[in-house]
Amino acid sequence: MVSSKCCNGDEGDGHQEEERRVKANDPEHNEKFQYANNRIKTSKYNILTFLPVNLFEQFQRVANAYFLFLLILQLIPEISSLSWFTTIVPLMMVFTITAVKDATDDCFRHKSDNQVNNRQAEVLIDGRLQNEKWMTVRPGDIIKLENNTFVAADLLLLSSSEPHGLCYIETAELDGETNLKVRQALPVTSELGADIRRLAEFDGVVVCEPPNNKLDKFTGVLFWKDNRYSLNNEKMLLRGCVLRNTGWCFGMVIFAGPDTKLMQNSGRTKFKRTSIDRLMNTLVLWIFGFLVCMGIILAIGNSVWEQQVGTRFRIYLYWNEVVNSSVFSGFLTFWSYIIILNSVVPISLYVSVEVIRLGHSYFINWDRKMYYPKKDTPAEVRTTTLNEELGQIEYIFSDKTGTITQNIMTFNKCSINGKTYGDVYDDLGRKTAINEKTVPVDFSFNPLADRKFQFYDHSLIESIKLGDSVVHEFFRLLSLCHTVMSEEKNAGELIYQVQSPDEGALVTAARNFGFIFKSRTPETITVEEMGKLVTYQLLAILDFNNIRKRMSVIVQTPDGQIKLYCKGADTILFERLHPSNEELMDLTSDHLEKANMFFMKARLESYTSDLCSCSNEFAGEGLRTLALAYKNLTEEHFKEWFKILQEANTSLDSRNEHLAAAYEEIEKDMMLLGATAIEDKLQEGVTETIASLSLANIKIWVLTGDKQETAMNIGYSCHMLTDTMNEIFIVAGHTVMEVREELRKAKEHLFGQSKDLSNGHVFCEKMQESKQGSVLEETVIGDYALVINGHSLVHALEADLENEFVEVACMCKTVICCRATPLQKAQVVELVKKHRKAVTLAIGDGANDISMIKSAHIGIGISGEEGMQAVLASDYSFAQFRYLKRLLLVHGRWSYFRMCKFLCYFFYKNFSFTLVHFWFGFFCGFSAQTVYDQWFITLFNIVYASLPVLAMGLFDQDVNEQNSMDYAKLYEPGQLNLLFNKRKFFICIAHGVYTSFALFFIPYGAFYNTAGEDGKHIADYQSFAVTVATSLVIVVSVQIALDTSYWTAINRFFILGSIAVYFAILFAMHSDGIFVIFPNHFPFVGNARNSLSQISVWLVILLTTVISVMPVITFRFLKEDLNPTLIDQVRKLQKARRKQKPLQNYMCQVSRRSSRRSAYAFSHQEGFGELITSGKNM
């Protein structure tokens, strides 16, 4: 075989690999193919690339390129009316601030990379184990892993400390599952053991598939000693896994660094920009076009004026060199006006935007209500440029394990012999809530009890101590019917190796209640029952699979009695009960339809109905229910059945079908013992958070690596799924045709049901202006959910099916994608971004969520149980899912609201300021002379008008934080992009044009042929300039006072202070003293004192102010009175009740009927039963 070279170096770039060929312990051979080493890189820059790459990213902002162009123009003396330093200084400030911020963000990524790359690994080099950094590990190296350590690269398992080359791994960072998985080395390599000499001599060659992102598949062949051995995923340890319950293992590196399956699923770090940034690029182009139009109009005016009357004024407007051509004069004037009028988009806008974003970031970092004291973890903003986009989220894509759930299983309740255990009642028999003051059951009588286990119903322990035979049989079943492995490290210290966390919770519960699973062999199970050691003969394990949804064991008691114990999904188990339970089954089916109603009534007296009520109570609370049953077997019956089982085990054809038939034969006519309820604990506040976000019209999709039933169970727990939904569509097809058909049926049902419920009319939501090119989202009447499996998602994401998938999914209230790989998660996010043009947010806590986090507009990392990988790749991070509500509904909404008000005011202010030059051009011979003196132009946006608008952008609130969360509908303006869009921009421009018109023509008309109080003429240029400038400062200050919704001491100080500073600087620059020192730079000597001492000038300023702001006041008054928005109404309520308690949350909780769901069958894995009986893991 000949492999094509893979010239990917450390970065994983280069030619496409066709196959990989790796030889163990032979670096020279492997270096020929230039495979990547184990160094990873998630950062964007290095020392050499930072400056060019960062500048390239910054110049993607059209405004930055625009300012650079203006700077070049200002360097040309023939056309420059302003000094070049007025542009280059603020431009350099913008570039520097942005570059420092980007460099800081990337430093965190470098720190994370270095932390991982410098981890130590034991590598076999020159016949001995040496500690090497992870980044130096290369394909072909043999490395040793210790228990509870991360797997450094994608390894072929060679040998382990466990029998038969077995090892146990946790894959939470890959697929979100915390249950242990088994990997087994080839028998031929497991013989190598820990013999360093033999391992150093191992020279096998692995030929396998090239690097790819398929986590559940691996195809390869090992060539060694003239033999070939087939390799699959069960022989591989993937990077990101953790070695558990295994002393040590040796592995051969196949894929390293960027070639590992984890990194192949991670995606690249992307440069993220907000929708406002993208809109600003468009608006800057429009403004530049508007600027060019004004320049052309004034240039044409200059040419005409020069041709007709200009020659008469050359003695007043002296040129060093006379320009005889009026056309060329107009050409030069065009560029002069481009420079003068460029302040319609001042550089200070972008400086202010960055300052506001930074301020909003600190507000999030400092928010004590998003601080998690248990882990001393505050909220952290890792990317400061995206804050306002938090107020525009339409879709949230969430991981499940560790993000929505705590990843902790607890034995919550049980029903035994018709009696419910787990609730707490007061002295009057009323059910009470369990809280920190509730006294738990005292398990001190049991020295082997798990100290972490807590149960609050004391009646259950009393039943056990009283010797209730049914209760004993219940816990005996839990201690025997499982695949748990035990290890007693020290006396009294039992360690359980569990395949699924829920199975571990059941065995731990039995352990605490006195039925302690001690040990097992392939033939026996030893249990300590109420202090007495009992050994059962294990005759058979009837293993779990997804079809059976149950597991059974057949054991023989010490007195020779043979028993079958079974646990599984209640829906499956109830069908296999003895006919004597017929009444029970009938009542159960009836009660399951009316679960909540029955539970609110008094409990039925009969055993059957009590048990049914309990089961439905558990399901109604979102607990994972599990039914338990047993059966007594005669020796003759068992021997006959065992022959059938042996024949099935040895059959060559349809072995699985024969085994299933044998299991069915014995698992019938069982007697019901009771039911258990396990809680996969949700994080605190998850249900309320999801309800609030749903009211805000945010759609939440769960993208998880867990099985379908596990994910659906959590969906019910947090009320994303309810039994009151019209339909839950499950897409589980294995082929393109099957998936297409399932999606088609779902679509037909959606539209058909909608037409039935709405008399044949399907209505469409009106999409916002920014989404005109996207597919219209049709909203159906009723609530629907879509659940799709990973193997179906592969086909649904293909080009010919993606439209149908997105169309159906977006019409559903809830979408759950199960068994999704990291790459599929990212693809789903990209699909919604592409087809819906919606702002997306992804939230997760593991490395398997990194791709999704990077793909979404906003990525949030939960600093949870699975490490910090997601946090390091995120834009924001915090410790609990519930903080997402506050982040979006308070910080996000305020950031969007503030940024939009800031931009609207800023554009209004600068058009008001700049367009006065345009009107003045018609009265100064189009000579490109400015109305204001140069110092006012320089200081206006930096000093006089910067701090008030900055304060508004940082501190303004339309409603307080409590109302922001109580009235979730207030979030919708951001989703619909209502507060700042193209229409709002044109309104601001029109307002600015009107104000500039008033600022120029009212003083012009008032001063026309007018004498002052002293009889002297006041219509001189300098007096006019001071009057217009003073009017401008006062008008924009009054306008920002009108725009401010939330007054603070800072706002008042900045507004009044800006006016005071203006007058202070004005009188200083027009003073005699500064004129004497700098006569060429301050020509307006004495003007302010002369002009502002006259009442007529102040009356002109007052008239200008009133005419400028009266239309705004009138319009706003009429709008709030005649057509108030929800914000206006809430503000009125807020003002009326400011001194009262905050309004209670009016959200209604959705009630739902119960459903039967099994915890055990949902998270267990097939194959452990056979492994135990084979004895390979003993």
CB 691 within 8 A of CB 1149: yes
β-partners of residue 416 are 419, 674
Q: Distance between CA 689 and CA 696 in Å, rounded?
A: 11
The distance from CA 1167 to its chain's CA centroid, rounded to whole angstroms, is 35
- What's the burial of 1060, exposed, middle or buried (CB within 10 Å: 0-12/13-18/19+)? exposed
Q: What is the CA radius of gyration of the chain?
A: 37
Q: Distance between CA 867 and CA 432 in Å, rounded?
A: 37
Does the annotation count 399 as an active-site position? Answer: yes
Q: Which of 1024, 928, 919, 1021 is nearest to 317 (CA)?
A: 928
The distance from CA 886 to its chain's CA centroid, rounded to whole angstroms, is 14
Q: Which helix (H) or strand (E) holds 395?
A: strand 395-398
How do beta strands 699-703 and 395-398 pair?
Answer: parallel
CB 867 within 8 A of CB 324: no
Q: Which of 332, 291, 340, 338 is nearest to 310 (CA)?
A: 332
Residue located via tokens 């001491």 = 1049
Edge to edge, the sheet with strand 515-520 lists: 419-421, 405-416, 671-682, 624-633, 562-568, 550-556, 532-542, 524-529, 515-520
Give one DSSP letter per residue of 1050-1079, joined into a string.
Answer: HHHHHHHHHHHHHHHHHHHHTSHHHHHH-T
Q: Which of 220, 239, 178, 311 is nearest to 40 (CA)?
A: 239
| CB crowding 107-135: b at 16 or more within 10 Å, else e | ebbbebbeebbebebbbbeeeebeebbbb
C-alpha count within 13 angstroms, C-beta hemisphere, residue 122:
14
Q: Which two tokens stand for residue 1142?
A: 């905050």
SS (H, E, C) 847-884: HHHHHHHHHCCEEEEECCCCCCHHHHCCCEEECCCCHH
| Of 141, 259, 367, 399, catalytic | 399
Q: Which two tokens stand for residue 1044?
A: 């401010």
CB 708 within 8 A of CB 695: no
How do beta strands 485-490 and 493-497 pair?
Answer: antiparallel
How do beta strands 858-862 and 419-421 pair?
Answer: unpaired
Q: Which bin fits 381, alpha (ψ -120 to 50), beta or left (φ > 0)?
A: beta
**Rounded to 5 degrees, what are φ and ψ at 60?**
-70, -20
CB 591 within 8 A of CB 613: yes
Q: Which of 394, 375, 352 is nearest to 1054 (CA)?
A: 352
Helical spans, DSSP H, in 162-274 = 172-175, 187-190, 196-201, 261-264
CB 568 within 8 A of CB 574: no
Q: Which bin fits 68, alpha (ψ -120 to 50), beta or left (φ > 0)?
A: alpha
The CB density around residue 69, as the number of other CB atoms within 10 Å, is 13
CB 757 within 8 A of CB 781: yes
CB 683 within 8 A of CB 408: no
Instruction: Return the active site residues.
Output: 399
